[in-house]
Amino acid sequence: MVKRRPFIAGNWKMNKVTGEALAFAREFKALAPELQGADIAICAPFTCLAALAEIFRDTPVAVGAQNMFYERSGAYTGEISPDMIVDAGCSAVIIGHSERREILGETDETVRRKTRLALETGLRPIVCVGETLAVREAGRAAPHVRAQVEKALAGLDPAAMSRVTVAYEPIWAIGTGRVATAADAQEICAVVRGTIAGFAGAAAGETYILYGGSVKADNIAELLGTGDIDGALVGGASLKAAEFAELIRRAAGAA
Ligand code: 13P
């Protein structure tokens, strides 16, 4: 497997009003020249996407949304279409985060539709998969994640797989400080890649696979030292510019 530049994506979740986002962006932008060696994205709330995209224009920092709707326009009150996300200056979108699956009724079918539409619209989908603690303790993490990956991605043109990112985020490791061991994370990320290879062949080698769940500056290098983890989807540790920058520096150094 070719080891590529790590891809580190921040997921701010429902944090930061625009003023706070801009304060982060100014501080982070000043640090960005030191952050060569990794691809970087910040996935922020809808309300500050345009302002963030403007400040990060002409920098290597990509801006992404955390969700999108599965139609391009129409009578869907309150929803945001992928075209609107592109219009705000974004190039990426998180799809199927476990918080949306668990709290907001996201299903494998909506994840599948959103992923296709994101690709069609030119957005880089970051498709999230991962098991609950109960599923892990029942010894069913691998088949659970395999099924989620198949439902989200099977049938896509293999040529699109290089534009797809899959984030493996075990639900029990999110926001808990309980990070999966690098070996456990690698095991499931290898399942993700093997599953993609099952329907897309060699193109699976082009897909970025991230780990997410309590990733911090001091555990990123170990995670990236495994064979199938190409980067991280980072929640809490992406909220402070200096902390996120340090995590990226260590990721670039580990690659
Ligand atoms: P934490 O890094 O806060 O555990 O969140 C992980 C996550 O859900 C990123 O999408």
* CA of 235 relative to ligand 1 center, distance in Å: 4
Q: What are the backbone dihedrals phi and psi of residue 11, each rounded to the nearest 5 degrees, phi first?
A: -120, 105
pLDDT at residue 27, as a whole number: 97
Tokens, residue 165:
């990112």
Is the model's pLDDT at 125 over the cut of 50? yes
Side-chain-side CA neighbours of residue 68 (13 Å): 36
Is the model's pLDDT at 44 over the cut of 80? yes
How does pLDDT run across 55-64, given as a tens digit for each residue? 999 899 999 9
pLDDT at residue 175, as a whole number: 85
pLDDT at residue 199, as a whole number: 94
* CA of 165 relative to ligand 1 center, distance in Å: 16
Assigned domain for 4 exists: no
- CATH number assigned to the domain comprising residue 109: 3.20.20.70
Radius of gyration over alpha carbons of the chain, in Å? Answer: 17
User: Probe ligand 1: pick from 8, 12, 13, 104, max atoms within 8 Å of CB?
Assistant: 13
Decide: helix, strand or coil at residue 160. Answer: helix
Rounded to two decimals, the pTM is 0.97
Could you tell me if 228 and 191 are in contact, meaning their C-beta atoms sit under 8 angstroms apart? no
* CA of 140 relative to ligand 1 center, distance in Å: 22
Atom of ligand 1 nearest to the CA of 97: 10
Atom of ligand 1 nearest to the CA of 216: 2
Assigned domain for 7 exists: no
- More confidently predicted of 107 and 178: 107
Is the model's pLDDT at 142 over the cut of 50? yes
Assigned domain for 208 exists: yes
> What is the percent of the chain with per-residue pLDDT over 90, rounded to a whole number?
92
Assigned domain for 101 exists: yes
Q: Which residues are catalytic?
A: 97, 169
Atom of ligand 1 nearest to the CA of 176: 4
Assigned domain for 6 exists: no
* CA of 75 relative to ligand 1 center, distance in Å: 32
User: What residues make up the domain containing 157?
Assistant: 15-254
Assigned domain for 1 exists: no
Q: In whole angstroms, what separates CA 254 from the centre of its chain?
A: 19
pLDDT at residue 214, as a whole number: 94
Assigned domain for 134 exists: yes
pLDDT at residue 3, as a whole number: 63
Average pLDDT estimate for 88-113: 98
Is the model's pLDDT at 178 over the cut of 90? no
How does pLDDT run across 154-175, given as a tens digit for each residue? 899 999 999 999 999 999 998 8
- More confidently predicted of 174 and 142: 142
Tally of domains in the chain: 1
pLDDT at residue 204, as a whole number: 96
Split at pLDDT 50, 70, 90, the class of 153 is: very high
Atom of ligand 1 nearest to the CA of 173: 4
pLDDT at residue 255, as a whole number: 65
With a Cβ cut-off of 6 Å, ligand 1 is lined by 11, 97, 169, 174-175, 212-215, 233-237
How does pLDDT run across 228-249, given as a tens digit for each residue? 999 999 999 999 999 999 999 9
The average confidence (pLDDT) of the chain is 95
Tokens 């400080």, residue located: 177
Assigned domain for 60 exists: yes
Average pLDDT estimate for 19-48: 95
CA-nearest residue, atom 7 of ligand 1 = 235
pLDDT at residue 1, as a whole number: 46
